[in-house]
Amino acid sequence: MRILYSLLLIPWVLPAQTPTPAKTTDKLWGGRFAEGPSQVFEQFSGSLHFDRKLIEADVVGTQAYARALARVKILTTAEAERISTALGQVLDASRRPGFYDKATDEDIHSLVIRELKERAGPLADKIHTGRSRNEQISLDVRWWLRGEIDLTRRLAIDLMSALLTQAAAYPEAVVPGFTHTRRAQPVLWGHYLHAYFEMFARDLDRLEEVRRRVNLMPMGSGALAGSSFDYDRAAMARELGFDGLTRNSMDVSADRDFVIDTLHADALLMQHLSRLAEDWILYSSDEFGWLELSDKVTSGSSLMPQKKNPDSLELIRGKYGRVFGAYTAVMSLMKGLPLTYNRDMQEDKEPLFDALAATQGSLAMAKNVVDTAKLRPAVALRAVEESWSIATDLAEELARRGTPFHQAHQLVGRLVLTSIQAGKKPAAWTGADLQAFDPAFQPDMVKFMNPFEGLKTRNVLGGTAPERVIEALAAAQSRLAAYRLKL
C-alpha cells in the first residue's frame, strides 16, 4: 500500500517508457560520473521550462565573458569574436517559433552552450574557462532583473500620472474621508488621490534602491572562491552596464537578497494597489455610488443581467496574494541555507518571474481603471452633507474661540446625538438654533455646517485645504517629471 501511495505521488515525472540515462558527456559536469542521471531526476531537476526567460542575459553575459577571456589570452581576439557572433545567432534563433520544442537541456546555460557548439564547434568548450554556473546565474538574473525593475517603475509612474489627471478633472470635488469604513471628515478628491500618489512614490523610491543593489557585477566569483584568471572585472561591469562590483565571492554564490529585495518592493507596491482596488470597489458600488467604473474594465454576470462587476479591481486585489506568496516563498527558501550555493536556490526564479508579471500587469490594469473612471461629485458631496463629518470642524472652531477641546468635543457630540435622534441633518440647523442648543455656539458658527468651510481651515502643509492641495498636486507633477528622468 505504501509503495502504491508513493507511486501516486509522482506520476508526472514517470517516463512513458523505460528510462534511458542521459549521456554524461552532454553535461557541463559529466566527467566525474560513470553514468548519467535517471530520467526522473532529469525531469525533476530541470529548469529550462522557466529559466529560458534569461536567454538574452545569458548570451550577452557570455559574449562579454568571451572578450574577457581574450584579454587574459585564453581566447584570441578572433576566437572571441567568432564566439560572440555565434552567440548572436543563437539569440536570433531563440526568437523564432519552435526553438525550444525539442530542447532537452537541463537549464538555459546548457542550452546556450549546446547551441554555441553547433555553430562554433570545439571552440565553444573554452568559453566556460574559469566560470561557474553559480556566478553565471547571478549575472543573468541581475542583468535581466534591472530591466524588469525599470519596466515596473515606468508602469508605476504611468499610474501616478493617471491619478494626477483624475485629480485635475475634479479640482473642487469633495468626498468623504473614512476611518473604520465610516465617514469621518470631508476631503478634496485631489487630496484623496494624492494619498495614493505618495504611496506609489515610496514604492518608486524602494525600487530605485533595489535596482542599485541588483546592479552589481558578480562575474569573477567562480563557484565560491573567486577566479584564478585575472580578467578585468571592472571592464566587464562597464561593458554590461553594471554600476559596480560584488565584493566577496562566497557572498555571490550564496546571495539571493537582491531577489528578496525585489519581491519585498513588489509586495508593498501590490499592497497599495490592493488597497486602492478595495476603495474603488466600495465607492463604485450601489451602496456608495459616487464613482463609476468604465464598461472597459468591468464585466457582467452569466446569470444576472443587471450586474456590472468590478472584476479588474478584484483581480488586482487577488494578485496581491500571489506576489506576497512569492515573497514569503523565497524568504522561506533561503532560511537556514549553509554557505554557499545550494540547489534549493533554483526555486527562487519561478516565484520571482510570477511576481513581476503579476505586479506589472496589475499596474497596467490599474492605470486603465483610473484613466476611465468617472467621479459623481454631487453624490459624493451629498454623502458628506448628509453625514456629520463636519463635526470636528465645529468642535475645533469652538476650541479656537476659547472652549477647551474636551468640552467642545462633548458639546458637539451631544449636538450630533440630538440631531440623529431627531433626523436632523447639519444643513437644517440655523445660527439661532445652535445658540439655543448651547450658548457656547455663536450664530456665525453655522457656516461650519458647510463642509467647504471646514476644508479651508486645514491649511497646514499636507492638509486638505484647497490651496494646499493645489500646491501638493503641482509638486507631485514636478516629482513625477524627476522620476521619469531617472529611468
Domain positions in the chain are 44-129, 133-381, 387-486
Whole-Å CA distances, 127 to 67, 87, 118, 162, 252: 10, 11, 14, 48, 21
Residue 42 has pLDDT above 90, yes or no: no
| pLDDT of 35 | 79
CATH of 133-381, one of 3.90.1170.50, 3.30.479.30, 1.20.120.1200, 1.20.200.10: 1.20.200.10
Residue 112 has pLDDT above 50, yes or no: yes
Q: For residues 443-455, give the mean pLDDT.
A: 97
Q: Do domains 44-129 and 133-381 have the same CATH topology?
A: no
- Averaged pLDDT of the chain: 93
| pLDDT of 282 | 98
| Upper half-sphere CA count for residue 321 (Cβ side, 13 Å) | 4
| pLDDT of 41 | 87
| pLDDT of 4 | 39
CATH topology of domain 44-129: Fumarase C; Chain B, domain 1 (1.10.275)
Q: For residues 46-60, give the mean pLDDT.
A: 96
Instruction: Give the span between the Cα atoms of 252 and 94, in whole angstroms.
Output: 28
| pLDDT of 215 | 98
Q: Band of the pLDDT at 43, cuts 50, 70, 90?
A: confident
Query: Is 109 among the catalytic positions?
Result: no
| pLDDT of 30 | 61
| pLDDT of 248 | 98
Residue 86 has pLDDT above 60, yes or no: yes
The CATH number of the domain covering residues in 387-486: 1.10.40.30
Instruction: Give the span between the Cα atoms of 192 and 216, in whole angstroms.
Output: 39
| pLDDT of 23 | 55
Note the pTM of the prediction, 2 decimals: 0.92
The pLDDT tens digits of the residues spanning 468-480 come to: 999 999 999 999 9
Instruction: Give the span between the Cα atoms of 63 and 80, in whole angstroms.
Output: 8
What are 468's three cell numbers? 494646499
Q: For residues 333-357, give the mean pLDDT.
A: 97
Instruction: Give the span between the Cα atoms of 409 and 371, in whole angstroms.
Output: 41
| Upper half-sphere CA count for residue 450 (Cβ side, 13 Å) | 9
Residue 114 has pLDDT above 50, yes or no: yes
Query: Is 180 among the catalytic positions?
Result: yes
Q: Which of 180, 228, 302, 478 is catalytic?
A: 180
321: amino acid identity, one letter: G
Residue 292 has pLDDT above 50, yes or no: yes
Q: Which of 45, 299, 301, 332 is catalytic?
A: 301
> What string of DSSP letters covers 38-106?
PHHHHHHH--HHHHGGGHHHHHHHHHHHHHHHHHTTSS-HHHHHHHHHHHHHHHHHHTSTTTTTT---S
Q: Band of the pLDDT at 37, cuts 50, 70, 90?
A: confident
Q: Band of the pLDDT at 33, cuts 50, 70, 90?
A: confident
DSSP single-letter state for residue 299: B
Residue 27 has pLDDT above 80, yes or no: no
Q: Band of the pLDDT at 29, cuts 50, 70, 90?
A: low
Instruction: Give the span between the Cα atoms of 85 and 116, in whole angstroms.
Output: 10
Cis peptide before 340 (omega within 30 of 0): yes
Q: For residues 394-404, give the mean pLDDT.
A: 97
Q: For residues 211-226, give the mean pLDDT.
A: 97
Residue 39 has pLDDT above 90, yes or no: no
The pLDDT tens digits of the residues spanning 166-215 come to: 999 999 999 999 999 999 999 999 999 999 999 999 999 999 999 999 99
| pLDDT of 34 | 73
Percent of the chain predicted with pLDDT > 90: 91
Q: For residues 304-310, give the mean pLDDT.
A: 93
